[in-house]
């Protein structure tokens, strides 16, 4: 591994291990989630629309705590299918790391060469979106 790959790996390990220090802002995340609506919607199990959005990506309602690559009726890439098989469950921390850089997240988790078909990355504010996604799910139960 090159030096820069190591430092990125360590950065991600710190991010994933940060646990209680996780600090996202739900209100900011709700606004920032607009960036995701071109491809993602929030739709309850009963079919109710919580947030209207596109269908190029999977439904993100209750994604925190959900096994990666497991939204029904969605055809995931090989990379996300491999992540699913590895048993990865989305946490606020891992979702944040994925959104900051989907391909890098997969190569750190699964090894080089694994990629996602999500054609989008958000360098700033992903933690706020993760917080919003965690809360929008529990407040609707
Ligand atoms: C241009 C379309 C597009 C945009 C914009 C987009 N995504 Fe995605 N997203 C996708 C696609 C396509 C996938 C499926 C990836 C795969 O199968 O590799 C995906 C997958 C995901 C997953 C994995 C879900 C699962 O079921 O495992 C998460 C989490 C996610 N996106 C979060 C976000 C967030 C948060 C935003 C906004 C910051 C966002 N995405 C913006 C297209 C998009």
Give me the CATH number covering residue 33: 1.10.760.10
Q: Of all atoms in ligand 1, which is nearest to the CA of residue 76?
A: 17
Pocket test for ligand 1, best of 26, 34, 40, 65 (most atoms within 8 A of CB): 40
Q: Which of 29, 34, 53, 58 to mutate to test the pocket of ligand 1 (most atoms within 8 A of CB)?
A: 58
- Domain presence at residue 119: yes
pLDDT at 104 over 70: yes
Q: Within a domain: residue 6?
A: no
For residue 2, tell me if it sits in a domain: no
H or E element in which residue 51 lies: strand 49-51
* Domain span at 55: 22-139
List of residues 6+ apart from 100 with CB closer than 8 A: 121, 122, 123, 126
In the predicted model, is pLDDT for residue 90 greater than 70? yes
Nearest CA to ligand 1 atom 2: 39
Question: Whole-angstrom distance between the N-terminal and C-terminal Cα of the chain?
Answer: 45
**pLDDT tens track for 39-85:** 999 999 899 999 999 999 999 999 999 999 999 999 999 999 999 99
10 alpha carbon – ligand 1 mean position (Å): 24
pTM of the model: 0.88
Question: What whole-number distance in Å separates Cα of residue 22 and Cα of residue 131?
Answer: 9
Give the per-residue pLDDT at 141. Answer: 45
Task: Flag whether 10 is in a domain.
Answer: no
> Which residue has its alpha carbon closest to ligand 1 atom 5?
36
What is the reported pLDDT for 40? 98
Centroid of ligand 1 to alpha carbon of 58 (angstroms): 7
pLDDT at 11 over 90: no
Structural domain tally of the chain? Answer: 1
DSSP string, 63-120: -TTSBTT--TT----HHHHHHHHTT-B--HHHHHHHHH-HHHHHHHHH-TT-------
Which range is least confidently modeled, 9-13, 26-30, 83-87, 116-120? Answer: 9-13
CA-based diameter of the chain, in Å?
49
| Residue 86 near residue 111 (C-beta atoms within 8 A) | no
Who's near 98: CB < 8 A, 6+ residues apart? 90, 105, 116
For residue 79, which of 121, 100, 52, 108 has the smallest C-alpha distance?
108
What was the pLDDT predicted at 22?
Answer: 75
Q: Residue 4 — very low, low, confident or very high, per pLDDT cuts 50/70/90?
A: low
Element (H, E) at 137: helix 126-139
pLDDT confidence band for 3 (50 / 70 / 90): low
- The CA 89 to ligand 1 mean position distance, Å, reads 15
9 within domain boundaries:
no
Model confidence at 21: pLDDT above 80: no
Position 126 in a domain = yes
């Amino acid at each position: 591994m090159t030096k820069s790959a190591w430092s990125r790996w360590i950065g991600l390990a710190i991010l994933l291990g940060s646990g209680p220090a996780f600090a996202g802002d739900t209100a900011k995340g709700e606004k920032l989630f607009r960036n995701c609506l071109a491809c993602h919607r929030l739709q309850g199990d009963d079919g109710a629309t919580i947030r209207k959005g596109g269908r190029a990506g999977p439904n993100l309602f209750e994604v925190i705590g959900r096994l990666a690559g497991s939204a029904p009726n969605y055809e995931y890439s090989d990379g996300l299918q491999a992540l699913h098989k590895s048993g990865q469950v989305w946490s606020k921390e891992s979702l944040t790391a994925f959104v900051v850089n989907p391909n890098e997240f997969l190569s750190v988790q699964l090894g080089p060469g694994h990629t996602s078909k999500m054609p989008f990355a958000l360098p700033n504010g992903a933690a706020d979106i993760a917080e919003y996604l965690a809360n929008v799910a529990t407040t609707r139960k």
